Chain A
């Protein structure tokens, strides 16, 4: 079987797995929604009808297939707390989350990579020690503490009071700066601390390879060695980390950041959904983000051959 086929099959099996788990937890063993829908004092016939509509009387497997079909057609139901269609809710909030999180996420990763280059270049001398020790101390500070310290410093009268401490009314670049600067700064700090040591280890590994010795023997300078020789060899693990932390940041990072700063993104929506046990919303977010992870991983497999010519997806796999 060629590699790409095997990888695709593997991704499909993972898709079955995550949809099955979300089905079990959120639908099959999830809360019985018929009472909520039926309103006060329903009679048995009414309940029976609603249960039929919800498909509760169907067999296990056929309910699971309905669940998959709904996910595939983005037919995600309605939020129980505000009655909006879940797909509409997501369409409104995902762009907000991207605006809050993506810039900080990207800048943080690039900054971590640059600092990792400095550390790897000066390995075992003071710039390296300083950076690696700082980042170890940095990852030991909870994201929460960083957010509180930053917002107390930048958003309250005790500090500089430069930015609003909560809210989101963004319609222009200037307003983006007003509302997104502090959350982005917090995210940048955390991203740098979180990634610096990993990227340093990647680069350090490459710096010990023979081809770097060749480059040095042929007069390559620090810039050339880092960017033209070592970096192309670390692109795959770098990109993998970047891609795989993206869904986690989007969902989990926004949970804290958005509920703290009162930003109406996916995180805020999931936060509210958890509190209100809003099953359709939670189900949609958990299922879709898990699917997103798998799809990203699957797509990444098709990018890798462009980054490393040694990878051959046509090759027969064992």
Chain B
């Protein structure tokens, strides 16, 4: 199958950051109807990648490589309101509270998008609005409410309804559950999964939380300091992470297998962003580091099973994998 999104060798640096890039040589494909998860600590460049997909990078960014969406090249500095490759994408954001206009009722906010993207007559818009509210699990009286009258979970549902109103085939969700409490988080993730399957959306789900990704995505990419360090089907990442960073992230999840409680293991240290270092970015925190790790940058290699790629000279052996 042809990927609907393909990111090729994408590097982005913010103005004034010099040699330090927020995104480094990223290659990523999303197939139609596929849910891809992007995982990494905060500051690793996830949002930057999402904004690039939307053509919404802040002005003055330096970028190399390209993004192709549905056969069309993305213009990184899209002028607002202009038709483009971006029209295939809808995006929902981390903080639903601030992402909605506080002085406009949510019904109006959704209706504006319906009006802009569907070919419906004006009179048909209230019906479409009602339909969307049902789809995201909101009761009809919500249309008259203002964002501050809704809970965080309901606000995120409104943003989802806006995303559906856009009639896009690709949905980018940037940490959609980070601002929500645990119970609501689960509901929103389930809704996301349900909508993705029902509407046959291609989904890029961004999170710093591997367990959230696990519920929704088939394919997972692990990002460290702007680089994809491991990329594999969700099952493989969970059962046999090869990159030490992936293993660390996985171990940081308190209870991935409730029946077998594990000791909480956390990643030591913090990402160090010194530019100009030659070796593996993760070397300073890596438990498996060897002298050679700091000589050269490990490339993203395919292993014997082609579906799992990782950038490590000394990967975790397959025997160490948890059963």
Contact = CB atoms under 8 A, between A and B. Distances in A.
Direct contact of A and B (CB under 8 A): yes
B80 A222 contact: yes
Contacts of A74: none
Interface stretch (B99-107, B237-245, B287-295): B99-107
A43 interface: no
Contact of B148 (A209, A220, A224, A309): A309
A229 B113 CA distance: 13
17 contacts: A218-B116, A218-B162, A218-B166, A219-B86, A219-B113, A219-B116, A219-B166, A220-B81, A220-B112, A222-B80, A224-B81, A228-B104, A232-B104, A233-B101, A233-B102, A233-B103, A309-B146
B100 A214 contact: yes
Contact of B93 (A214, A228, A235, A310): A214
B93 A221 contact: no
B95 A210 contact: yes
A50 to B, nearest CB: 60
Contacts of A215: 101
A214 B109 CA distance: 10
Given A213-B56, A213-B93, A214-B159, A220 B80 contact: yes
B146 A218 contact: no
B99 A232 contact: no
B209 interface: no
B312 interface: no
B81 A218 contact: no
Interface in A175-225: 209-211, 213-222, 224-225
Interface residues of A, number: 24
Contact of B103 (A214, A220, A221, A309): A309
A224 B108 CA distance: 13
B186 to A, nearest CB: 24
B250 to A, nearest CB: 31
A148 interface: no
A308 interface: yes
B281 to A, nearest CB: 29
Interface string B42-83: 000000000000101000000000000000000000001110
Nearest to A121: B80
A307 interface: yes
Contact of A211 (B54, B80, B86, B101): B101
A106 B159 CA distance: 38
Contacts of A232: 101, 103-104
Nearest to A310: B148
Nearest to A219: B116
A113 B210 CA distance: 48
Contacts of B99: 210-211, 213-214
Nearest to A225: B80
Given A213-B56, A308-B103, 5 more contacts: A210-B93, A217-B91, A218-B162, A228-B104, A309-B102
A121 to B, nearest CB: 10
Given A224-B81, A228-B112, A308-B103, A219 B98 contact: no
Interface string A280-293: 00000000000000
Interface in A203-260: 209-211, 213-222, 224-225, 228-229, 232-233, 235
B40 to A, nearest CB: 21
A83 B113 CA distance: 66
Contacts of B54: 217
B146 A310 contact: yes
Contacts of B80: 216, 219-222, 225
Interface string B31-45: 000000000000000
Given A224-B81, A308-B102, A218 B113 contact: yes
Contacts of B82: 221
